Amino acid sequence: MMQRMRRILLPVLGFALVLIAWEIVGRWFGNALFAPPSHVALEYLALLQQGGMLSELLISLRQMVIGFAIACTIGMPLGVVMGRSAMASAIFLPWVSMFVVTSTAALIPVIVPALYPYFITAASIGLVHAIRAMVLAEMLVIVGYGGLIHRSGLSIDTAPLLGLLLTLMIVSVLFSQALRATGRWLAPWYELQRLQT
């Protein structure tokens, strides 16, 4: 019971300490350089009330999820084929190398249960790249959530920018947790095996 409480309290304490340090540093530097969380929270509420942030985020994430699903649907079977066939590997490797998002270790095994950890690893790494690519692409053309980040970065006040970035971090963590939960649901044997080793 005490260990469980410690596992909960220590992260909360760490989070609180970071917020306190951020508040002190932010007040020292000012909103133009590094807005404190108290100011970020106010600006964030203003962004939510305007209503555009969440709609832009949902549109951007929908496009990212579609692209990510297509990439996994094509990339994972292609990786298995390349791992099993030297000819397929020779044909596709130059093309895959141009779009590589994961370790080549995911291409080596041949048995589906053995592939499972590589699939989850590849999907996790791919998800990080997908979110990053989504934001960068939208920042370049100044549309969607990336466009909001770009426009906020042009402001003298850093609070809106920090609020948008924190939202993106939270969304990334939630997506990663959802991916792990899906992996545990699809293959409970792997989670049991991992805990036993």
Is residue 8 assigned to a domain? no
| Token code pair at residue 80 | 């298995």
Task: Give the long-range contacts of residues 82-91, CB within 8 A, separation 24 or more.
Answer: 82/107, 83/107, 83/108, 83/109, 83/110, 84/110
Is residue 10 assigned to a domain? no
Using the Cα atoms of residue 100, residue 102, residue 104 and residue 107 in order, give the sign of their dihedral: negative
What pLDDT, on a 0 to 100 scale, did the predictor assign at position 113? 59
Using the Cα atoms of residue 77, residue 82, residue 84 and residue 87 in order, give the sign of their dihedral: positive
Is residue 18 assigned to a domain? no
Query: How distant, in Å, are the alpha carbons of 7, 12, 140 from that of 2?
Result: 9, 15, 50
The count of structural domains within the chain is 1
What pLDDT, on a 0 to 100 scale, did the predictor assign at position 21? 93
Nearest to 36 by CA among 46, 50, 21: 21
Is residue 39 assigned to a domain? yes
What pLDDT, on a 0 to 100 scale, did the predictor assign at position 101? 52
Nearest to 56 by CA among 178, 158, 149, 172: 149
Angle at 105 between CA 91 and CA 107, to 5 degrees: 35
End-to-end CA distance of the chain: 24
Q: What stretch of H or E contains 164?
A: helix 159-186
Is residue 25 assigned to a domain? no
| Total Cβ atoms within 10 A of residue 76 | 18
Contacts of 11 (CB under 8 A, 6+ apart): none
CA atoms within 13 A on the CB side of 11: 5
Is residue 4 assigned to a domain? no
Is residue 16 assigned to a domain? no
What pLDDT, on a 0 to 100 scale, did the predictor assign at position 99? 64
Over the chain (197 residues), the average pLDDT of each successive run of 10 is: 79 88 91 88 86 85 88 85 88 76 48 63 80 87 88 87 89 85 71 56
**pTM of the complete model:** 0.68
What pLDDT, on a 0 to 100 scale, did the predictor assign at position 185? 77
Is residue 127 assigned to a domain? yes
- Domain range holding 115? 35-196
Contacts of 27 (CB under 8 A, 6+ apart): 36
